[in-house]
Chains A and B, each alone.
Chain A
Amino acid sequence: MDSHVQCRYHQCAMLKSIITKVNTVPSIFVHGHTASGKTLCIKRVLDQQELPHVLIHCAEFYTQKLIYEHILTQLNRTNQPAGKCEDMNSFVRLLHQTLKHERYTNTTAYLVFERAEKLRSLPANVLPALLRLKELSQSQVCVILESEIPWENFRQFPTGYREPITLHFSPYSKDDLIEILSSLVPDDTDKDFYTNYCHLIVNVFFTITRNLRELKYLANMNFKKYCEPVNTGAVAATNHRALWKAIEPQLKTAINSIYLHEMSSSQWEKVQAEDEGAIKLTDCNLKQSVELPYFSKYLLIAAYLASYNPAKSDRKFFVKNCGRLRKQTLTKNPDKTSNQIIGPKQFQLDRLMAIFYSIVEGKVMPTTHLYTQISNLVSLQLLATVSGESQFDSPKYKCLATLEFIQSVSRTVEFQILHYLHDFN
């Protein structure tokens, strides 16, 4: 069986020296960035030696009960739950019983905890007890913890830890990434052609992300487009320069949606198929398109203005026919940091309504419907109530909408929001 994991030879060798059939290190801590091959290497080494092991993803098994029962069921190789096991004490006892089975004589069982940093949120005894599980259960068992957080950050409780053997997975270098990506060449593609493509992908996106998973996703997404000129015969497969010229705009737009995965891959392909892909891209942005009633929109805009404008400047923006006033403009203090940086300020309902009446078109009666819309906005989490429950008559709010969002809302009612913002005038 081939145990070779690309670019991880040294780490695998180290793992192999401590993960063996009979000798047990009580605990191992494996540390490295996401997608740096931690789980892969551990699994390879364990599988290669056919050692019994249980993988526990701590985001999936998030309580003591789930973790213990999962481990016991897996080790017992039954489908039925192994019975109630809610605390460390019964877990250790049952584990000892399980490992007495002849299947486990002279064999070490390995418990691999992925995202081990989540274990810290469990009761304080769990992590220290796991680290000395071998000693406590008096059986051949080894606990492997995987995390992207260094070991120092685990030592937050006063209860001491038996220091595990730590193993660091260094991040992949640029060359490593290219090597790994180009080894995933699709079946019907020329290897050199694909390697060249991977060079391109890594060089474009490397400054933004080093996450292998993300790069893999990006490589898959854009490959069809890259092949297009070759398939149509417009460009020769060896003409790298022309191919780069063809794909460049496509990748430039992809940079703007790295990590976000705003659309599924099928949608992405659809966008690619159309020529005006770049224009479509902004329309697809679901977050910016929330349908609100007409008055709600104005209320939201008013709330935004109240949150981000100082109360003093209201006079400047909202008092009508103030030609004389405008001349003695409010002197803006250049040292003051703008509200766009500090965040929204709270405001009173009265101020919100005042601004609302001055910006809304037509005459609006202050009915209960208007006020229900405010509480609607609160439940949509576009506004937040700041004052306590006790203040009925003058509630205070904060606006939670972002500038981008409010701009798109005001575009729909043709309101020039930037003209009314203190920071932009």
Chain B
Amino acid sequence: MKSICFRVKFKMVVCNDAIAACDILMEEMFNGTNLDVQVQDDIHAQNIYDLKCLIDKCVLYGESNSILVVGPRGCGKTHVVDSTIAKVLENKQDDVSIVRLNGLLQTDDNIALEEITRQLKLENVVQDMVFGSFEQKMQFLLESLRAGSKDSQPIVFILDEFDLFANHRNQTLLYNLFDIAQTKQTPISVIGVTCRLDVTELLEKRVKSRFSHRYIYMFHRLAFSTLVDTLAFWLKLPDKYCKRKASYAIQWNKRMDTLLQDSQIKDEMLFRFNMITDMHSVKQMAAKIVGNCRDIEATSLPEEKHFLEAFKVLELDCKAAMLQGTSILELCLIIAMKHLTEIYESGEPFNFQMVYAHYKKFSERKSSMKTCPKPIAMKAFEHLIDLEIVKPVDHSSALLKQYRSMRLLVTSKEIENAVLHYSGCPADVKRWSFIDSIH
């Protein structure tokens, strides 16, 4: 195998330029964040400015406030908050405490309180006191926060996945945070980050009225040219690598430029761009292309096919691929179910017994295959349930399993496609699947 790289005692000895290039590109893509920062900072400059003003007010003048950053996933909300915080911390490192919470991690108020205590470095204080209950913890924290005045050290609370905090019991944490933000106590600013537009509807009345109703709305601002530029950035070798393997790197970069200009690839990219919403998917696309380039022979360069293959992989319909992997028996059962669903147009569920009877009728009359005994067909059917191709309508297990009513989760179009592309599918099964109803 030519294109295997050998690793000897943690030191990488690469015998292949192409693989080395791919490794470097992947590393840049997922560990070097320089492009992300550049591009996103430019796009969201206004938002970062707005948010910074607000936090500055809290940090410099002790004005408490609260704000929500709302926008679809992957549009750079967290990034805006992070870079704002970085800017604030630049010159006032010691004057401000940051508390970061995430709705995915702090799933209830109890955990959230512990985490706040930890991040405010109050553990030492807490250790001396015995805290049994949630109420005591809450009381301690509130007293600590209320004790301060306008001149105390400001605290910035960042609540990522803000909507999940609204699910907590009584919304105690949110209520108290917003309450403190409204009074002249320790200056705090509460920044909620969420993707839900209806997030204020989730808040209870008493919580809602304490929130300042400031919002930053963000949207996707991804143009096609940005996509191509981003892709080019991730597909071209960085300068630091160029120094070591200059000639090859220059060739590589040149080839990537010409490939990105290629009309067929451009068409494909435009097609994909219409389905892309965020930077992550662009990155995935680049990763797939680079991954494909790894099987290039020693010192040759990437070609068109590596791009096209990557696009094909991205388009791969997993469900169709899964249907391709079923055995002929399972495929027959699926076709039988398809017929049953077509007969009862109202979408009435069916059970295994019906499916088996229908399958048996086919295999005894019209097929050269041997009819499979019922227990084995049942096993195959259970496998289909595991694959979530069929699903029980109700979850009552009291009834016999062969009489449980089922529903098919793939459309008849998908099944027809699968049968057409199934390699080695017997002709009679193929014919059977295209018959409209039971005959």
A residues with CB within 8 A of B: 3-4, 10, 13-14, 16-18, 20-26, 31-33, 36, 48-50, 87-89, 92, 123, 125, 128-129, 132, 136, 148-153, 159-160, 162-163, 165-166, 168, 170-171, 173-174, 206-211, 255-260, 337, 340-344, 384, 398, 400, 402
Contacts and interface: CB of A to CB of B under 8 A. Distances in A.
A93 B352 CA distance: 48
A16 B379 contact: no
B235 interface: no
Contact of A209 (B31, B280, B327): B327
Interface stretch (B48-56, B133-141, B283-291): B283-291
14 contacts: A17-B26, A23-B26, A89-B105, A150-B319, A160-B195, A166-B318, A168-B321, A170-B324, A211-B327, A256-B373, A260-B376, A343-B353, A402-B400, A402-B402
B122 interface: no
B318 A14 contact: no
Contacts of B370: 255
Contacts of A152: 318-319
Nearest to B354: A341
Contacts, number: 166
Interface in B103-139: 103-107, 111, 114-115
Give the most central of B281, B328, B400: most A CB within 10 Å: B400
A207 B388 contact: no
B374 to A, nearest CB: 8
Contact of B30 (A23, A48, A123, A206): A23
B379 A259 contact: yes
Contacts of A163: 280-281, 284
Interface residues of B, number: 69
B42 interface: no
Given A344-B400, A384-B398, A20 B161 contact: no
B376 A136 contact: no
Interface string B311-350: 0010010110110111111000000000000000000000
A160 B73 contact: yes
Nearest to A161: B73
A215 B107 CA distance: 46
Nearest to A384: B398
A208 B327 contact: yes
A365 to B, nearest CB: 32
B1 interface: yes
Given A17-B291, A20-B26, A260-B376, A206 B115 contact: no
B188 interface: no
Given A13-B295, A259-B376, A149 B388 contact: yes
B403 A343 contact: yes
A154 B265 CA distance: 31
A25 B30 contact: yes
A153 B319 CA distance: 10
B197 interface: no
B77 to A, nearest CB: 12
Given A14-B294, A208-B380, 20 more contacts: A3-B4, A4-B1, A17-B294, A31-B318, A89-B106, A89-B111, A89-B115, A129-B104, A136-B102, A150-B321, A160-B195, A163-B281, A168-B318, A210-B326, A259-B376, A259-B380, A340-B353, A341-B354, A342-B351, A344-B400
Contacts of B295: 10, 13
Contact of A17 (B284, B290, B329): B290
A204 B306 CA distance: 39
A400 B287 contact: no
A39 B104 CA distance: 28
Contact of A136 (B23, B105, B379, B386): B105
B327 A125 contact: no
Give the most central of B294, B372, B375: most A CB within 10 Å: B375
Interface in B258-294: 280-281, 284, 287-288, 290-292, 294
A98 to B, nearest CB: 17
A398 B396 CA distance: 14
Contacts of A151: 318
A132 B402 CA distance: 41
B394 interface: no
Nearest to A127: B104
B287 A25 contact: yes
A120 to B, nearest CB: 11
A50 B10 contact: yes
A10 B322 CA distance: 18
Q: Nearest 8 pairs between A and B by C-beta? A: A171-B325, A343-B403, A150-B318, A23-B27, A259-B379, A17-B291, A207-B328, A129-B104
B322 A150 contact: yes
B105 A22 contact: no
B357 A341 contact: yes
Contacts of B7: 48-50
Given A24-B30, A87-B107, A384-B398, A13 B322 contact: no
A153 B385 CA distance: 13
A400 B401 CA distance: 10
Interface string B1-17: 10110010010000000
A129 B104 CA distance: 6
B99 interface: no
B93 interface: no
B105 A170 contact: no
A250 B82 CA distance: 69
B399 interface: yes
Nearest to B280: A163
A186 B125 CA distance: 68
Contact of A344 (B31, B316, B329, B403): B403
A260 B376 CA distance: 7
A162 B357 contact: no
Nearest to A36: B325
A423 to B, nearest CB: 12
A258 B164 CA distance: 48
Given A18-B26, A23-B31, A49-B7, A260 B290 contact: no
